[in-house]
Structure 1
Amino acid sequence: MQQDGLILELQNGNERAFQRIYELYSESVYGIIYSILNDEAIAQEILQDVFLKIWNNSSSYNSDKGRFFTWILNIARNASIDHIRSKSHKNSKKNLAADNFVDILESRSNFSAKADAIGIKKYIDILKPVCKKLIDLLFFKGYTQKETAEELEMPLGTVKTRNRACINKLREMLAE
């Protein structure tokens, strides 16, 4: 079955189509979620939540607005970031032993592996260093634009403008 037909069947409530979509995309989606959360159990939980959202909101997907895989990745990314910003996640991190912080810092800075996990590493490597840093903070670490501005010690407006320019450059490269 072609992808468009599969998506249409999903939107019509076909459970087999949903199962096939899960088979096709779950591994990649899990990779994205895990690269953001760095916790297998929570990543599995979020993965299930993401596919529930896909099932429940499939009618909101519109091919004119972007590719299906991009739509799924956005759901996964947003769910992961929502979890990071949740009160329960923040409370659980308060109780970590000091020796865990080294691992967290090392994994959070492993930008190259995260970019490679979604297949855009070769494109990101071409970008300017400021773009790499912005994409890392905003998309892989879940920072808000305000938090990114504070981290990089630059005005919020500059972060917004540079982010837009970096994403547009990435889009141009991906379209080629």
Structure 2
Amino acid sequence: MQPDSLIAELQNKNPKAFERIYERYSESLFGVIYNIVRDQHLAEEILQDVFIKIWNNAEAYNDSKGRFFTWALNIARNASIDKTRSKAFKNKKKNLTADFYVDILEEKNSFANSVDAIGIKKYIKILKPYCKQIIELLYFKGYTQAETAEELDTPLGTIKTRSRNCIQSLRDILVK
């Protein structure tokens, strides 16, 4: 089944189309979710919620506004970020041992693993170093623009401009 017809079937609430969509995208979406929440069980829960949202809101997808994967990725990313900003998540993280944080800090390839999980590693390599940093913080770690500005010790306006320019550069690379 072609991707466009598969999506049309999903929008018509065809359970078989939903299964195929899940098979096609769940691994990549899980990778993005896990890279934000850093908890296997929680990432699995969020993935389930994301696919429920995809099922319930499939008719809201419009192919003239972007690719289906991008639409689903935004749902996954937003759900993950919402979870990390919840009070329960923050309280849970307060009770973790220092080993949890050491593991995250020592994982030098986290950005490489993140971009590889969604299949854009070869495109990210082409970007300028500051673009890689900004994309990692904003899209893979779930930072806000203000948090990114603070982390990089850069004015907020500069982060906004650079993030817009970096995303445009990535779009230009992908469209070629």
Q: What per-residue deviation string (whole Å, max 9, x for no partner) do you get for residues 28-64 of structure 1?
A: 2112211222211111101100000000000110000
Any idea what SS the aligned residue of 1:99 has?
helix
What residue is the counterpart of 1:48 in the other structure? 48
d(CA) in 1 for partners of 2:174, 2:145? 24
What residue is the counterpart of 1:62 in the other structure? 62
Structure 1 consecutive aligned stretches of length 4 or more whose deviation exceeds 6 Å: none
Contact 1:34 1:40 (8 Å CA) reproduced: yes
What residue is the counterpart of 2:4 in the other structure? 4
Unaligned runs of 5+ in 2: none
Moved more, 165-174 or 27-36: 27-36
d(CA) in 1 for partners of 2:142, 2:109? 13
Give 1:1-150 correspondences, 5 Å limit: 1-107=1-107, 110-150=110-150
d(CA) in 1 for partners of 2:106, 2:50? 27
Amino acid of the residue matched to residue 94 of structure 2?
Answer: K
**C-alpha displacement of 1:13:** 1.4
**C-alpha displacement of 1:115:** 1.1
Amino acid of the residue matched to residue 18 of structure 1?
Answer: F
Q: What per-residue deviation string (whole Å, max 9, x for no partner) do you get for residues 120-142 of structure 1?
A: 11111111111111011101110
Any idea what SS the aligned residue of 2:5 has?
helix
**C-alpha displacement of 1:21:** 1.1
Q: What per-residue deviation string (whole Å, max 9, x for no partner) do you get for residues 92-145 of structure 1?
A: 000011222201323487211111111111111111111111011101110000
> Structure 1 vs Structure 2: percent identity of aligned residues?
66
Contact 1:137 1:148 (8 Å CA) reproduced: yes
Unaligned runs of 5+ in 1: none
Number of aligned positions between the proteins: 176
Contact 1:131 1:163 (8 Å CA) reproduced: yes
